[in-house]
């Protein structure tokens, strides 16, 4: 009886979390417009001679408001039918309107995650993110292709991509013919990746304004309302009989089967760990003997220069070979690429 109650409690907590994330997306428009209203009020409170220095600011806010409406239209498409997106779980209908938001109100952190998710479309699925993808994903893909050369049937090579985000790296590996699965814990990312991978069937079909919440570090006001189009490719453009999937859940809990993956590919994933050792142990356990872990992270170096500290970022690729016995030494390959 106690065990049944624990399962029920876990299911209820999971549903509450799911509903809260859906509500965060639904709240995006109200949240964003409220920010604009506050900014307009601050502007109106300025002395006349201060407002005269930025006379077009109200017009700019009107443009930002229109961008918010465009983003919210996209968000409604993203969260449409999300309660049915998981094969083994149906969270049922999510309450609409203010009552649903009142019962499961999103937090400030949730709203920041919504904005971050919108920005993620830039790196993973837009032409604007091509250079960043080339820096982050291409070195990993090149290394995997080197470790599993063309004479090996790629469909027999099983590659896991934990921390898959919006799924572009996993998609690119599946497009090369590898049997690939992306894993993601964040429902924010899962909603967005489900939309782009399963609902988008035409290149550059959607427009998004990812920078409108960035009120600093803009050279000009027009930079803030610069749009992107996505996806830059048709996500359905995969080889016939390709083996590509996305799995939701905590990496440590989902992947417990030993000796099941030929390769684990991670990009900016290890720094998300509460306990890095547990991640490394899990990766070692699930890799087949002779399998590879290809990891790319940003390494931050602190340099002293005339008494002042400077920070220098470098990309670091690390290759780990799973030996037959854990006591044997691992081989490491380092490649540093300046940001």
- State CA 193 to chain mean position distance: 8
- Could you tell me the end-to-end alpha-carbon distance of the chain, in angstroms, rounded to an integer? 56
Q: pLDDT category, 7, cuts 50, 70, 90?
A: low
CA distance 31 to 152: 52
C-alpha distances in Å from residue 74, one per residue of 30, 137, 229, 303: 15, 26, 12, 44
> Does residue 328 have a pLDDT over 80?
no
Q: pLDDT category, 338, cuts 50, 70, 90?
A: very low
Look at residues 163, 178, 79, 165 and name the one whose alpha carbon lies nearest to residue 129.
Answer: 165
Q: What local confidence, expressed as pLDDT, does residue 102 receive? A: 64
Starting at the edge strand that comes first in sequence, how are the strands of the sheet with 179-184 ordered? 244-248, 179-184, 158-162, 261-267, 287-305, 308-321, 335-338
State mean pLDDT over 107-118. 96
Give the alpha-carbon dihedral of 94, 95, 98, 99, to 10 degrees.
Answer: -130
Span 248-307, pLDDT tens digits = 999 999 999 999 999 999 999 988 898 999 999 999 999 999 999 999 987 544 444 434
Span 54-78, pLDDT tens digits = 999 999 999 999 999 999 999 999 9
Q: What local confidence, expressed as pLDDT, does residue 279 receive? A: 95
C-alpha distances in Å from residue 82, one per residue of 85, 157, 207, 311, 313: 5, 31, 21, 42, 38
Cis peptide before 231 (omega within 30 of 0): yes
Report helix, strand or coil for 316: strand
What is the pTM (predicted TM-score) of this model? 0.85
Contact 171, 203 (CB under 8 A): no
Look at residues 144, 145, 136 and name the one whose alpha carbon lies nearest to residue 166.
Answer: 136
Span 297-320, pLDDT tens digits = 875 444 444 344 444 444 556 667
Q: For the ranges 99-108, 173-182, 244-253, which has the lowest average pLDDT?
A: 99-108
Span 139-171, pLDDT tens digits = 999 999 999 988 999 999 999 999 999 999 999
With pLDDT > 70 as the criterion, what percentage of the chain qualifies?
80
In this structure, the strands spanning 244-248 and 179-184 are parallel
Contact 136, 296 (CB under 8 A): yes
Partners of 304 in beta bridges = 309
- State CA 171 to chain mean position distance: 13
Cα-flanking dihedrals φ and ψ of residue 45, to 5°? -80, -10
Q: Which residue has the higher pLDDT, 319 or 100?
A: 319
Query: What's the chain's Rg over C-alpha atoms?
Result: 23
CA distance 122 to 214: 14
Q: Could you tell me the residue ranges of all domains in the chain?
A: 1-129, 137-200+235-339
Question: Is domain 137-200+235-339 in CATH 3.40.50.150, yes or no?
Answer: yes
Give CB contacts under 8 A, 24+ apart, made by 267-273: 267/136, 267/137, 267/140, 267/163, 267/169, 267/295, 267/296, 267/297, 268/136, 268/163, 268/296, 268/297, 268/298, 269/162, 269/163, 269/295, 269/297, 270/295, 270/297, 271/297, 271/298, 272/163
Strands (E), the chain: 158-162, 179-184, 206-208, 228-230, 244-248, 261-267, 287-305, 308-321, 335-338
Q: What local confidence, expressed as pLDDT, does residue 234 receive? A: 98
């Amino acid at each position: 009886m106690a065990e049944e109650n624990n399962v029920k409690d876990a299911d209820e907590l999971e549903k509450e979390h799911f509903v809260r994330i859906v509500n965060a997306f639904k709240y995006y428009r109200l949240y964003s417009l409220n920010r604009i209203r506050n900014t307009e009020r601050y502007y109106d409170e300025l002395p006349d001679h201060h407002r005269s220095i930025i006379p077009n600011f109200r017009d700019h806010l009107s443009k930002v408001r229109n961008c918010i409406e465009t983003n919210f239209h996209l968000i409604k498409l993203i969260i449409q039918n999300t309660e049915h997106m998981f094969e083994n779980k149906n969270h049922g209908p999510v309450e609409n309107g203010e009552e649903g938001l009142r019962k499961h109100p999103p937090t400030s952190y949730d709203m920041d995650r919504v904005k971050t998710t919108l920005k993620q479309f830039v790196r993973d699925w837009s032409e604007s993110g091509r250079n960043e993808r080339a820096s982050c994903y291409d070195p990993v893909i090149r290394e995997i292709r080197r470790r599993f050369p063309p004479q090996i049937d790629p469909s027999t090579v099983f590659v896991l991509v934990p921390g898959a985000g919006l799924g572009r790296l996993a998609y690119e590996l599946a497009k090369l013919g590898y049997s690939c699965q992306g894993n993601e814990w964040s429902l924010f990312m899962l909603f967005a990746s489900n939309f782009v991978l399963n609902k988008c069937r035409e290149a550059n079909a959607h427009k998004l304004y990812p920078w409108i919440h960035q009120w600093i570090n803009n050279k000009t006001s027009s930079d803030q309302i610069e749009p992107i189009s996505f996806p830059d490719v048709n996500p359905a453009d995969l080889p016939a009989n390709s083996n590509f999937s996305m799995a939701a859940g905590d990496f440590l809990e989902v992947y417990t089967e030993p000796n099941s993956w030929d390769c684990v590919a991670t990009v900016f994933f290890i720094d998300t760990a509460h306990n890095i050792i547990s991640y490394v142990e899990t990766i070692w356990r699930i890799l087949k003997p002779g399998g590879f872990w290809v990891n790319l992270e940003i390494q931050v170096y602190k340099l002293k220069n005339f008494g002042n500290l400077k920070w220098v970022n470098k990309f670091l690729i690390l290759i780990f070979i799973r030996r037959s016995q854990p006591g044997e030494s691992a081989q490491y390959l380092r490649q540093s690429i300046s940001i």
